[in-house]
């Protein structure tokens, strides 16, 4: 039997307890009723996020890019994803706890990791979870393909719009984010 949101591997409450006690070498997520293990990011992964954080601060100083933010996503709020970044108004997550509702998040961000599960996790499961949660924009910085992909306009659990550009191109992130990224710097993190 394959786990689904109708027949998850465990209860959400059990997952949250397990995630609290997980070793620091891994991060746990619960997506579509399945327990996911996400590796701890490497230095290039962190540098890409710091680059993006600075761009967001320059263009939208009233917003913050919250790193490693736990969000309740997925059908009927049965999923738990730890975003690489969640763009929201300053102070948005104050008092919200480890796993917050996605309401008010303008953009979810993932930077792919060099592991066998990144295709399914970052390119499909999390994308669909963020769309189902109604997060207006999903930004995927894909280190395997050296592309930046912007998904927007969520409807019915999927994003209706997708734009992908290679590292070095100018990337427009639509409203409600409304910023432009010059991505030449990302080429520094290709190995």
The CATH number of residue 82's host domain is 3.90.1570.10
Number of domains present in the structure of the chain: 1
pLDDT (mean) for 126-155:
95
Q: Give the pLDDT confidence score for residue 1 in this predicted structure.
A: 42
Q: Write out the residue range of the structural domain in which residue 178 sits.
A: 41-189
pLDDT (mean) for 65-73:
92
How far apart (Å, rounded) are the C-alpha atoms in residues 52 and 61?
Answer: 13
Q: Give the pLDDT confidence score for residue 77 in this predicted structure.
A: 45
How far apart (Å, rounded) are the C-alpha atoms in residues 49 and 112?
Answer: 11
For the chain, state the CA radius of gyration. Answer: 16
Q: Is the pLDDT confidence value at 162 over 70?
A: yes
Inside any domain, residue 24? no
Intra-chain end-to-end CA distance of the chain, in Å: 39
Share of the chain above pLDDT 70, in %: 72
Q: Give the pLDDT confidence score for residue 31 in this predicted structure.
A: 63
Cβ-contact 40, 68 below 8 angstroms: no
How far apart (Å, rounded) are the C-alpha atoms in residues 107 and 109?
Answer: 6
The DSSP bridge partners found for residue 79 are: 73
Q: Is the pTM of this model over 0.85?
A: no
């Amino acid at each position: 039997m394959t786990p689904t949101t109708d027949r998850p591997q465990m209860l959400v409450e059990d997952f949250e307890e397990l995630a609290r006690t997980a070793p620091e070498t891994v991060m746990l997520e619960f997506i579509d009723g399945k327990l996911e293990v996400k590796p701890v990011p490497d230095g290039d992964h962190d540098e890409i996020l710091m680059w993006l954080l600075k761009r967001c601060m320059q263009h939208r100083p009233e917003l913050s890019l919250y790193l490693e933010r736990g969000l309740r996503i997925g059908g009927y709020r049965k999923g738990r994803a730890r975003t690489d970044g969640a763009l929201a108004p300053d102070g948005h997550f104050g008092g919200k706890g480890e796993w917050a509702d996605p309401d008010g998040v303008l953009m979810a961000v993932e930077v792919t990791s060099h592991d066998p599960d990144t295709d399914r996790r970052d390119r499909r499961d999390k994308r669909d979870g963020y769309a189902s949660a109604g997060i207006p924009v999903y930004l995927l910085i894909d280190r395997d393909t050296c592309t930046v992909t912007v998904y927007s306009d969520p409807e019915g659990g999927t994003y209706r719009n997708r734009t992908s550009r290679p590292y070095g191109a100018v990337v427009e992130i639509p409203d409600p984010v409304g910023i432009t990224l010059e991505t030449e710097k990302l080429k520094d993190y290709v190995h």
